[in-house]
Amino acid sequence: MTSGKEDYLKAIYIISESHELVTNKELSEMLHVSPPSVSEMIAKLQKQGYVDYTAYKGSRMTKKGRREAGRLMRYHALWEVFLVKCLHFSWSGAHELAEGLEHQTNEELCSKLDAYLGNPEYCPHGDPIPRVDGSRSGITSRVLVELEEGEKTHVRRVMEDYSLMDYIQSKGIEIDMPVTVLEKEPYEGPILLETPKGNTSLSYKAAQQIFVDDEEEDE
């Protein structure tokens, strides 16, 4: 399978975690490719049994597709853990290198890497690592910006965006860190957080892409 097809499968996998049918428009925006290119690739993926496409509605990932996408994401995440934990790369640096390494990995290497790292369940920025069968769980959907002043929570994951990951790390924010919302400026202003490292301010845009404990977990 080419790296281009692999990138499409990963994108469909990620988007389908929030809703089953993935539109070509969503893929075009996520992968920064033209709509005709998306249509062409979806036709290829459907022919190979990775997706079921319904005209004017979108693509639904098959079991074969989910297994393949989960495998690639598993490779990627394990390399991220290795690069951050063992070689002390930043989140964004590890993510960039893992994009290439995942395409050069096989099951034997993945198994040995997984065992060497102690079978981690999450990547450095909090995404759950897919299991061998391609499934994964533990995705939190509540974002930091939804919290009110005085609410306490834990940072669970950060969107996979280079500049965002660098920004979050520069602010001293870590995965599983307990935080309290001290102040929210009106009109989408910055959010002031209390953390174990001291108070820090985050932009509204960043707070929209930081996921925290779901409400039911807080009760």
We report the CATH number of the domain holding residue 13 as 1.10.10.10
- Provide the whole-model pTM: 0.87
- Is there a single domain that holds both residue 203 and residue 154? yes
The span from the CA of 13 to the CA of 68, in Å, is 10
- Is there a single domain that holds both residue 161 and residue 195? yes
Domain presence at residue 171:
yes
Domain presence at residue 68:
no
Do 122 and 95 meet the contact criterion of CB atoms below 8 Å apart? no
Domain that holds residue 195: 144-218
Cα Rg, the chain, nearest whole Å: 18
Do 8 and 68 meet the contact criterion of CB atoms below 8 Å apart? no
Of 95, 106, 70, the C-alpha closest to 160 is 95
Long-range CB contacts (within 8 A, 24+) of 101-106 = 101/75, 101/76, 102/6, 102/72, 102/75, 102/76, 103/3, 103/6, 105/75, 105/79
The span from the CA of 54 to the CA of 30, in Å, is 20
Domain presence at residue 189:
yes
**How far out from the chain centre does Cα 37 lie?**
24
- Is there a single domain that holds both residue 120 and residue 159? no
Residue 129 DSSP one-character state? P
- Is there a single domain that holds both residue 168 and residue 211? yes
pLDDT in tens, the chain (219 residues): 567 888 999 999 999 988 889 999 999 999 999 999 999 999 999 999 999 999 989 999 999 999 999 999 999 999 999 999 999 999 999 999 999 999 899 999 999 999 999 999 999 999 999 988 888 887 888 999 999 999 999 999 999 899 999 999 999 999 999 999 999 999 999 999 999 999 999 999 999 999 999 874 444
- Is there a single domain that holds both residue 157 and residue 182? yes
Residues with Cβ < 8 Å from 166, sequence gap 6 or more? 90, 91, 92
Q: In 10 A of CB 194, how many CB atoms? A: 15
The number of domains in the chain is: 3
The span from the CA of 47 to the CA of 162, in Å, is 33
Domain presence at residue 175:
yes
The span from the CA of 86 to the CA of 195, in Å, is 26
